[in-house]
Structure 1
Amino acid sequence: MAEPLYRLPSRSEIIELAIEEGHDADIPTNAGSIHPRPHHSPHPHPHNHSHNHKTSDAQKSSSAVFGKDIEKGPRPESLSSEDDAEDAEAEATEDSDPNIVWWDGPDDPQNPLNWRYVKKWGTVILVSAITFLTPLASSSFAPGVPKVMETFHSNNDMLEGFMVSVYVLGFAFGPLIIAPLSEMFGRLWLYHCCNVFFIVFSIAAAVASNMGMFIAFRFLMGCFGGAPLVLGGGTIADLISREQRGTAMVVWMMGPTIGPCVGPIVGGFLIEAKGWRWNFWLVAILAGAFMIMSLILMNETYAPVILARKTARLRKETGNLKLRSKLDSGLSPRDLFIFSIIRPTKMLTQSTICFAISLYVAITYSYLYILFTTFTAVFTNQYGWHGGVLGLSFLGLGIGSLVGQLVFTHFSNATVAKHIARGDFKPEHRLYMMTIGGFFLPVGLFWYGWSVQAQAHYMVPIVGTGVMGFGLLMTFMPANTYLVDVFTIHAASAMAASTVLRSLCAAFIPLSSQKMYAAMGYGWGNSLLGFVALLLIPIPFLFIKYGEAIRARSTVKL
């Protein structure tokens, strides 16, 4: 059953692939794991999890990782040739084992990397469309908030903001469950199930009869709507070769970047024409269309699950119970859930770097949702905007975010390439762009707040929000890449920790924004946020100077 491995992936490639798939690198990627596979019993089964109390070999292998300080490990670019030689030797040993099930050669049609061009890129486009829709739904009904409040006979300022931000609260909890489930059952099953529940709760929100029901359904929409954000990067990594992956990832990332800003523009005119409930009907209709397309066009892309099914089929056909998939991790559901939940928690509480960077991102991300929850009231009260035109108030934020992403992608890659060529690259070089972005955020807040307070021409505050959007992306993107470079093998857990904290802050901090503006006015209210943003500016500078020393002294054990 074994086939020679036609190209041994390097350790750095496996780590990079694990990051894109959304899990730590000690869980097998499509190319294998950075650790040798655990020894299996003579009667393995990909999904057979015994209930004995003995420590499994997989757990022993994992415990070796837990005992290491995760901030002191070597980076992928600096991994020694001895490490790759050891991995190659382990791979060669496995390839000589006739009971190892792998692809049937480099052109095996079951391998998603070998699918037809149209099928691969069709899947990428479909996943990108779904990933665009679910973040769009987070804010698309924001212009209709006053009408929702009127429908449910409420004048509670906190609920007015919470009905928008509660969606992102679902982004904090849904992925913690979705990620380990995808590693057990594959991506396709999770896409279909989450799409179905997303449609169900979108319809439920459309027909909600009271505020409590509406907020609960919005939260559940967020929980299941987070699936493409968790699974999309992995799907692209399953299908597209490393050389072509950058383009696909940029297309996919457009969804979470500009979706929340485009949503209110579309929603504003729709709500004016058909009412706020139709915003959710439209989301459900589009999600239903994507669901039908995914049922027809999508297939499982996650190699460990494909090979597990192949192994089960071959066992049945040959009667050889010793057959085992090359990518079978031997980890139980309990192990996977522990990795998904406990590791991010420990990182957030034990790592100075992870906590400080995540806090910076969380506060700046909460500013985004302060704008989402207050734009309608601000432009209604100060400029007399009503109806569909209210959605246009989000335009500056969207354009600024898009420009920020493009500028970061270009200059960050150039900076990193320069240092790698010199041979002196370290993770802190990722933060140079963050030092620039940090200044744009308070400038945008002061600009927006005082221009609204003075009722300057409406383009003035909209340009101010564009400056804010640029600053947000120029802090958010470098922070993420820095966490990836610092934690490498456990980058997915670091990213999960950051996601949970920023989602919690984005859900709850905006609740007091209306009262803040009522008490302080738009000028001083936004200035208060700007002063907090100014206090955060030194963080990337401090890590550029002391980050390496902090990592050398830090003790973070999972």
Structure 2
Amino acid sequence: MAKPELYRHPTRSEIIELAVAEGHDADIPSNAGSIYQVLSRTTSPRSARRNHESEELSAAAIDKDVEKGTTPRSTSSDEEAVDSNEEDPNVVWWDGPDDPQNPMNWPNTKKWGAVCLVSAITFLTPLASSMFAPGVPQVMAAFGSTNDMLEQFMVSVYVLGFAFGPMIIAPLSEMYGRLPLYHSCNALFVIFSIAAAVASNMAQFVVFRFLMGCFGGAPLVLGGGTIADLISREQRGTAMVVWMMGPTIGPCVGPIIGGFLTVAKGWRWNFWFVAIVAGALMLASVVLMKETSVPVILERKAKRLRAETNNPNLRSKLASDLSPADLFKFSIIRPAKMLTRSTICLATSVYMAVMYAYLYILFTTFTAVFKTQYHWKGGIIGLSFMGIGLGSLAGQLTFTYFGNKIVNKHIARGDFQPEHRLYCMCVGGFCMPVGLFWYGWSVQETTHWIVPILGTGLIGFGLLMTFMPATTYLVDVFTVHAASAMAASTVLRSLFAALIPLSSSKMYQAMGYGWGNSLLGFVSLALIPIPFLFMRYGEGIRARSTVKL
């Protein structure tokens, strides 16, 4: 039996930060606890009454208006119940602040080794989304297809998997921990990468690509939570930057590797390469990675102590009473409600989805554009993706510096509002259409190849300067429900990125590269007012919100 140490309740900002990193809402226990402590499962009438009161309070929190940012007040009975939970000898917690079972107390080599391994896996799976793009013409020839729509869909169907896989992976990780999901998804990712490499027809290839995306999304869902489990807040920024390089830079680096590999070994070796690297990382994770989910670790400890002491009342301090149906509700129903009932969530998510779709329009057409307009051949075609990669990197660094500087200034003044996140988004909004006009007309007129590459660099810069502020804005607006808002945004942008590029070839055939990209630019121009409107009216929209979950 383990009597808990005195426990410092996490601050609201800590809970929000951990909930977002772990991909779930903060009323599901995280490694810092939950906003509403789960009470001891005793059979006394007094405990039963307290549990009932806590459930009523939690229900009120779930039904509250999520955009107003208000939180229900703790009642005296709730505070009494939490105190009772801290003093209850049946509650299992860490054996002191230096308990070696606590992932925060692991040796630095073990912690940072796990972070590096997760970051490597997170880099590989987005890289695989676009790596074989330069080899698409070879795939079409191998399967005897001339369907332009299939040519685009082969690349973007991977992203469609990102929309569906994580919705299942997230609740499963809550029930069984992170490690089983890492291992199982890594193994399935390797299996379907091999299956794509040996596919004998187009239908098989597309299905296997989709399943690669479904299981390849696991590190994107679980990686932030693993870092939050292991690294203190003071050092977490560095780890998160390394981890975020995967989804930001990976899709741009992939085609550069794939271009040369396709020429040297053929298109199938893009998938053999991914399978080999993923297999090596899977073996390393099996040997080196340990479970980091604190609720799961404590539940195992409680189970062991129940067997050793024959005390069935022992339970983890972070035990959750959520049923699988409740987890499904949090993962599926709540994001759908937020997307359909919140003006802020819908408008911001649509903006991000359109920008993300543009990225995959470029990914699916760069090979054809530079092959027909500039007569690039072989592995050199992969270098056409370099501009957008370098632009994305510049956008990420710029937002990190200026975004934090602006926010910190308003926090110091004491007048910070979520809308202060949007200054950088306004800049990025103008960069996107300028970059699209620049790229489209320079390709149309066949100017020197560096000119369209510079245009794509501006597109990459604008993409990150809109994407990153919009994401942090959703976190600040929806606070404890930020993970659901981000899940809604992720599903919408994945659907856009998978489906909109299907018509890009026909658009360019009908309108040319100049007017085709100008059409995309005009749409992005129409979206520019969104951050400005929220900066002006966002506070009022949140005050009048009627979004109930």
The number of aligned residues is 542
Name the SS for the 1:353 alignment partner: helix
Letter in 2 for 1:106: P
Name the SS for the 1:457 alignment partner: coil
**1:430-454 deviation digits (Å, cap 9, x = unpaired):** 0111001000000000000000000
- Mapped to 2, the partners of 1:38 and 1:526 lie a distance apart of 58
Alignment of 1:154 onto 2:145: yes
State whether residues 432 and 458 of structure 2, in contact with CA within 8 Å, keep that contact through their aligned partners in structure 1: yes
Aligned partner of 1:63 among 49, 54, 59: 59
Q: Which residue of 2 aligns with 1:365?
A: 356
CA pair 56-523 structure 1, distance change in 2 beyond 3 A: farther
CA pair 85-287 structure 1, distance change in 2 beyond 3 A: farther
Q: Which residue of 2 aligns with 1:426?
A: 417
- Mapped to 2, the partners of 1:490 and 1:221 lie a distance apart of 29
Letter in 2 for 1:268: G
- Mapped to 2, the partners of 1:147 and 1:422 lie a distance apart of 59
**1:196-243 deviation digits (Å, cap 9, x = unpaired):** 000000000000000010000000000000000000000000000011
CA pair 30-88 structure 1, distance change in 2 beyond 3 A: farther
Aligned partner of 1:174 among 155, 158, 165: 165
Alignment of 1:260 onto 2:256: no
- Mapped to 1, the partners of 2:529 and 2:405 lie a distance apart of 24
State whether residues 405 and 473 of structure 1, in contact with CA within 8 Å, keep that contact through their aligned partners in structure 2: yes
CA pair 90-261 structure 1, distance change in 2 beyond 3 A: farther
Aligned partner of 2:107 among 116, 140, 161: 116
- Mapped to 1, the partners of 2:268 and 2:454 lie a distance apart of 31
Report sequence identity in percent. 73
- Mapped to 2, the partners of 1:284 and 1:402 lie a distance apart of 26
Name the SS for the 1:248 alignment partner: helix
State whether residues 433 and 478 of structure 1, in contact with CA within 8 Å, keep that contact through their aligned partners in structure 2: yes
Alignment of 1:184 onto 2:180: no
Alignment of 1:300-379 (within 5 A): 300-379=291-370
Q: Which residue of 1 aligns with 2:14?
A: 13
Letter in 2 for 1:466: G
CA pair 158-199 structure 1, distance change in 2 beyond 3 A: same
Name the SS for the 2:234 alignment partner: coil
Q: Which residue of 1 aligns with 2:28?
A: 27
Report deviation, 1:64. Answer: 1.9
Report deviation, 1:31. Answer: 1.1
- Mapped to 2, the partners of 1:283 and 1:336 lie a distance apart of 32
Letter in 2 for 1:25: A
CA pair 149-524 structure 1, distance change in 2 beyond 3 A: same
- Mapped to 2, the partners of 1:258 and 1:218 lie a distance apart of 20
State whether residues 5 and 94 of structure 2, in contact with CA within 8 Å, keep that contact through their aligned partners in structure 1: no
Report deviation, 1:2. Answer: 1.9
Letter in 1 for 2:5: P
TM-score, normalised by the number of residues in structure 2: 0.96
Q: Which residue of 2 aligns with 1:245?
A: 236
Q: Which residue of 1 aligns with 2:191?
A: 200
Letter in 2 for 1:65: A
CA pair 401-319 structure 1, distance change in 2 beyond 3 A: same
CA pair 372-419 structure 1, distance change in 2 beyond 3 A: same
- Mapped to 2, the partners of 1:316 and 1:345 lie a distance apart of 42
CA pair 455-58 structure 1, distance change in 2 beyond 3 A: farther
CA pair 39-8 structure 1, distance change in 2 beyond 3 A: closer
Name the SS for the 1:244 alignment partner: helix
State whether residues 8 and 88 of structure 1, in contact with CA within 8 Å, keep that contact through their aligned partners in structure 2: no
CA pair 214-62 structure 1, distance change in 2 beyond 3 A: farther
Q: Give the root-mean-square deviation of aligned CA atoms.
A: 1.8
Give unmatched runs, 5+ long, in structure 2: 45-50
CA pair 221-84 structure 1, distance change in 2 beyond 3 A: farther
State whether residues 59 and 331 of structure 1, in contact with CA within 8 Å, keep that contact through their aligned partners in structure 2: no
Aligned partner of 2:208 among 217, 232, 237: 217
Name the SS for the 1:486 alignment partner: helix
- Mapped to 1, the partners of 2:167 and 2:447 lie a distance apart of 45
State whether residues 54 and 78 of structure 2, in contact with CA within 8 Å, keep that contact through their aligned partners in structure 1: no
CA pair 489-437 structure 1, distance change in 2 beyond 3 A: same
Report deviation, 1:16. Answer: 1.6
- Mapped to 1, the partners of 2:169 and 2:57 lie a distance apart of 24
Aligned partner of 1:392 among 368, 383, 396: 383
Letter in 2 for 1:14: I
Letter in 1 for 2:31: N
Alignment of 1:472-483 (within 5 A): 472-483=463-474
Alignment of 1:230 onto 2:221: yes
Q: Which residue of 2 aligns with 1:48?
A: none
Aligned partner of 1:548 among 526, 536, 539: 539
Structure 1 runs (4+) greater than 4 angstroms displaced: 55-62, 82-91
CA pair 295-4 structure 1, distance change in 2 beyond 3 A: same
Aligned partner of 2:521 among 519, 530, 534: 530
